[in-house]
């Protein structure tokens, strides 16, 4: 499969995965329905990694068994079918944390060109938010103090599917990071249209 075919295959397998998962598991990973399965879709983040826009994507669904099943049913088949073997996956087996969450049992789908990032996750440690933002290619940052809370904005890149919009990535920025975010979006928008034939839309709120 080429990049576009692999991207579409990932989306198909992901939709099948969520439609086949039992109700109790869905309720758990969606915080008892606060989110929907559509909110959990990662095909956009996978596509960004395929396009070498970002070094990796982090996959974690609150439940190690669900995350592992997702790996078996979605990630492995797509990587196997991909003609150009440019990406792989890594299961975080150590007690790795960020200031926001525990990552043990999570999965990194990463570019082989950035294999060095695995060194951040192969031993027990706490990875700073700034480092996570860098390897996930987020142009902004979470509030570092109470002073930055009022100036925080939420950024969403949507896939415009004509009849509906699906959030592909979401991250936080500060007011003074809008210009760099707009440049970041334009780079993503152009690559996605050129290589995946999808239209991206931007929301900053």
Cα–chain center distance at 118: 16
- The closest alpha carbon to 79, from 64, 60, 57, belongs to 57
Residue with structure tokens 């150009």? 84
* pLDDT at residue 186, as a whole number: 97
CB 28 within 8 A of CB 110: no
CB 87 within 8 A of CB 53: no
- The closest alpha carbon to 171, from 108, 117, 129, belongs to 129
CB 90 within 8 A of CB 107: yes
Helices 3-20 and 43-50, packing angle to 10 deg? 160
CB 158 within 8 A of CB 201: yes
Residue with structure tokens 């196997």? 80
User: Strand 125-126 and strand 96-97: pairing?
Assistant: parallel
* pLDDT at residue 63, as a whole number: 84
Angle at 154 between CA 18 and CA 194, to 5 degrees: 65
Reading the chain (205 residues) residue by residue, the pLDDT tens digits are 999 999 999 999 999 998 888 777 777 777 766 666 677 899 999 999 999 999 999 999 888 888 999 999 999 999 999 998 999 999 999 999 998 889 999 999 999 999 999 999 999 999 999 999 999 999 998 888 888 899 999 999 999 887 888 999 999 999 999 999 999 999 999 999 999 999 999 999 9
| CA distance linking residue 87 with residue 109, whole number of Å | 7
Q: Which one-letter DSSP state was computed for residue 102?
A: B
CB 91 within 8 A of CB 67: no
Residues forming beta bridges with residue 155, ordered by sequence position: 171, 204
Query: How far from 34 is each of 27, 39, 60, 146, CA to CA, in Å?
Result: 9, 10, 17, 26
| CA distance linking residue 106 with residue 64, whole number of Å | 7
CB 153 within 8 A of CB 205: yes
| Tokens of residue 104, six digits | 């043990």
């Amino acid at each position: 499969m080429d990049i576009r075919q692999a991207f579409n295959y990932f989306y198909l397998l992901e939709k099948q995965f969520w439609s086949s998962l039992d109700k109790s598991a869905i309720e758990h990973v969606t915080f008892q329905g606060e989110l929907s399965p559509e909110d959990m879709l990662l095909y956009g983040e996978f596509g960004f990694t395929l396009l070498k826009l970002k070094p990796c994507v982090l996959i974690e669904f609150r439940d190690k068994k669900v995350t592992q099943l997702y790996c078996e049913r979605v990630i492995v088949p797509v990587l196997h079918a991909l003609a150009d073997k440019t990406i792989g996956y890594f299961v975080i087996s150590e007690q790795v944390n960020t200031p926001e969450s525990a990552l043990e049992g999570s999965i990194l789908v990463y570019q082989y060109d950035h294999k060095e990032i695995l060194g951040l996750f192969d031993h027990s440690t706490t990875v700073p938010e700034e480092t996570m933002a860098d390897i996930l290619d987020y142009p902004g940052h979470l509030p570092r103090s109470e002073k930055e809370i009022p100036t925080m904005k939420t950024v969403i890149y949507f896939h415009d599917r004509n009849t509906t919009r699906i959030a592909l990535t979401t991250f936080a920025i500060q007011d003074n990071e809008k210009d760099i975010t707009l440049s970041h979006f334009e780079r993503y928008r152009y690559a996605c249209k050129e290589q995946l034939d999808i239209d991206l839309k931007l929301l900053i709120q």
